[in-house]
Structure 1
Amino acid sequence: MSPRSQGYLFVAITMVIWGGFTLSSRLNAQWGISAWDITALRFALAFCILMPILIYKKDTAFLWHKEPFLLAMIGGVGYCLTSYTAFHYVPAAHAAIFLNGFVPLCTAVAAWLLFKEAFDGHTWLSLLIMLSAVAGMSVLMYQETGVAFGIGDGLFFISAIWWGVFTVLLRHWKLSAWHSMAGVAIWSAIVYVPIYMLFLPKNLSTPTPIHLFGQVIFHGIFVVIIATLAYVEAIKRLGAFKTGSIVTLAPFMAAILAVPLLGEPLSPAIMCGLLGMAFGALQPWRWLMHKDSLQQRLEQQKKQSK
């Protein structure tokens, strides 16, 4: 396979897993798997896989720096607890709107607050589109149910803040994909699993063993390890802009699939939120600008060659 074909293969793998995260997290709520349980089991399994590899490779020195620990508390424990809990309150479509839709915006705001990175014109336009979509969605939801937003929506928005800060710190600290992934998984397990074992409620007897086993394998191996590595490999072959634009579609596609697969509603309010947030997050106008600039460079090269 050519590097370009390999890149699209890695993108497809990432999209399937990220879309599966949305659907499977919603199934956790239906199967009685609590956020406390799946977070602990997810990181415990990843720890059991990754720590022996790091010890074998004699590559554990990076764990004792502050960066992996802070990333684990923000993008590991904090993000998982709020996002998994939110799925117990609202349908999967709300995750696409209030979590994945707001991640680009929260990332831009975090970059401005932490490192004084100014908003560009694309970010301001996305902000306007997203706020308009949320406003329209809230009006429609209030007309339909008498409630504009719920606790699950708030938890998803907090999750977007966690992930935005995590993304900015990861980019600023320039950790490799392997070290960031392993550091988040290992420190999350070291800190959270003992707290879970000693103090937090456990509900492992409610779900069936096959459901619990399947979720632990998927979230502990596929989400934590495989999706991260596939995403990085896709960026190497296709570039960050194209890769990021394509994989952002995954949660929105999962929200649509949740209608027939999970029997979840797709009201006019949800459609308004999905379409508006997807448009604002994907920034399709940048594709057109990117194509125009690429075409101009090709034409200039042709002129220079003549």
Structure 2
Amino acid sequence: MIQGNNPAQGAVVPSAALAQFQRAPRNTLRGLFWAGLSVMIFAGWFVVTRFSVTRELRLWDVTALRFGIGAIILLPVLLRSKRRISAREWLEGLLYACLWGLPFVLAVALGLQLTSAGRAAAVTPTLMPVFAGTFAWIFLKEKQGRARWCGYLAIVIGLVCMVAGGVSAHGGINPLGLIALMTAAAMWAVYTLLFRRSKLTPVQAAALICFWSAVLFLPIYILAGLSRLALASPSEIGLQAIYQGVLMSGVAIVSFNRAVALLGPSAATAIIALIPVVALLAAIPVLAELPSLGEWVALAAVVGGVLLAARPSAKQ
């Protein structure tokens, strides 16, 4: 009881609480920065990938450049890390590569081939936070709150408007392509929930994803003679090498992992749903494509849903 009345000891708790309170907005701002960087890179990925696969390169070449160059650049992280990566963490990295590495890219690639770049950019990033929130609620017993559920509903409504607008303008959508894009979204969501509890750093996770994806894909790519790199111009190969190998395999994965660590998976993945919005706005000056009234409505619905779903929960 004497210790409880000691003012020197009593001041420790408020000061610690104050420091934690002051760090919270700072971490939120840092998390928003990393999430925003991820959104910009991911949104451009659909445009850059579509640019090459409609010319000389194929999705196999883009995949090889993405994981091959990424593995080479990030290999020192695996070999010279301050903390040695355990055998269990190497297997954990293999699981991450199966969720957000080669299978994810191939699923999105199938969706790109059977639908369009616009629809792929709309479906996969938009549904990913919805899957992440739902899986966290079902399997991890995390309460999302009424605001987040309303946000997820608004995101889904926005997606439906986007797809419906595309169908009316460009015709029907391929069901298999839509399933592939939804599967990719679900795999991405599971990855975010698992990585939240991982002891790996964001850079280590990115390195393991690139390493295992390269090990699984490059032998098939080389032995099956899938390469068309000799047919592409050096400038096109350079563009894809930088964007796929450096930005997508390195910067984007690390920045997204940092956003998950700082904001939590639900908020970080909700912000990722802005990818189709950024792509839609970028198409105005770059491609001179003015969105229709239905697409503007969808854009507003997605933005509103993101603002609701990105709100930190009581436990985050």
Tell me the TM-score normalised to structure 1 length.
0.75
Are the aligned partners of 1:44 and 1:189 in contact in 2 as well (CA < 8 Å)?
A: yes
**Alpha-carbon distance, 1:225 to partner:** 1.5
Q: CA, structure 1 residues 161+148, in 2 after alignment: closer, same or farther (shift >3 Å)?
A: same
Question: How many angstroms apart in 2 are the aligned matches of 1:32 and 1:107?
Answer: 36
Name the structure 1 match of 2:10.
Answer: none
Q: What is the match of residue 175 of structure 1?
A: 200
Structure 2: which 5+ residue stretches go unaligned? Answer: 1-25
**CA apart distance, 1:38:** 1.1
The match for 1:34 among 55, 58, 65 is 58
Q: State which drifts further: 253-262 or 131-140.
A: 131-140
Deviation of 1:283 (Å): 2.0
| C-alpha contact (below 8 Å) 1:34/1:85 kept by paired residues | no
What letter corresponds to residue 124 of structure 2 in structure 1?
L
Deviates more, 1:114-123 or 1:104-113: 114-123
Shift of 1:118: 5.1
Where do residues 45-64 of structure 1 align in structure 2 (5 Å cutoff)? 45-57=69-81, 61-62=85-86
1:100 aligns with 2:130: no
Superposition pairs of residues 92-171 of structure 1, within 5 angstroms: 92-117=117-142, 119-147=144-172, 151-171=176-196
**Contact 1:29/1:88 (8 A) holds in 2:** no
**Percent identity between the two aligned chains:** 25
- What residue is the counterpart of 1:22 in the other structure? 46
| Structure 1 CA distance for aligned equivalents of residues 33 and 160 of structure 2 | 37
Of 239, 242, 245, which residue of structure 2 is paired with 1:220? 245
Instruction: Give the distance between the partners of 2:200 and 2:52, measured in 1 at CA.
Output: 32
- Counterpart of 1:25, as a letter, is T
Q: Deviations over 1:170-195 (max 9, x none)?
A: 12334321221111111111112112
8 Å Cα contact 1:101/1:278 also seen in 2: no
Contact 1:40 1:193 in 2 (8 A): yes
**Runs of 5+ in structure 1 lacking a partner?**
291-306
Structure 1 position 275 matched with structure 2 position 288: no
**Structure of higher CA gyration radius:** 2
Matches of 2:259 and 2:228, distance apart in 1:
38
- Alpha-carbon distance in 2 for matches of 1:145, 1:244: 29
Equivalence map 1:275-294=2 (5 Å): 275-283=300-308, 286=311
Q: What is the CA–CA distance in structure 1 between the aligned matches of 2:233 and 2:172, rounded to whole Å?
A: 34
Alpha-carbon distance in 1 for matches of 2:208, 2:121: 27
Q: 1:207 aligns with which of 227, 232, 242?
A: 232
Matched residue SS, 1:190: helix
Show structure 1 runs of 4+ deviating over 6 A: 241-245
Q: Distance in 2 between matches of 1:21 and 1:87?
A: 12
1:253 aligns with 2:307: no
CA contact (8 A) 1:96 1:252 kept: no
Offset of 1:102 from its aligned partner? 0.8
Contact 2:126 2:276 in 1 (8 A): no
1:43 to partner: Cα distance: 0.9
Aligned-pair distance for 1:25?
A: 2.2
Contact 1:71 1:166 in 2 (8 A): yes
Distance 1:98 1:223, change over 3 A: same
Structure 1 residues 282 and 203, CA, compared in 2 at 3 Å: closer, same or farther?
A: farther
Distance, in Å, in 2 between the alignment partners of 1:242 and 1:116 is 16
Residue 175 of structure 1 aligns to a residue in which SS?
A: coil
**1:58 Cα deviation from its structure 2 partner:** 7.0
Report the Cα distance in structure 2 between the residues aligned to 1:263 and 1:152, rounded to whole angstroms.
Answer: 26
Deviates more, 1:25-34 or 1:209-218: 25-34
For 2:127, give the aligned amino acid. F
Once the two structures are superposed, residues 280-303 of structure 1 have per-residue CA deviations (whole angstroms, 9 ceiling, x without a partner) of 23427948x99xxxxxxxxxxxxx
Matched to 1:40, the amino acid is: A
CA distance in 1, matches of 2:163, 2:260: 36
AA in 2 matched with 1:61:
I
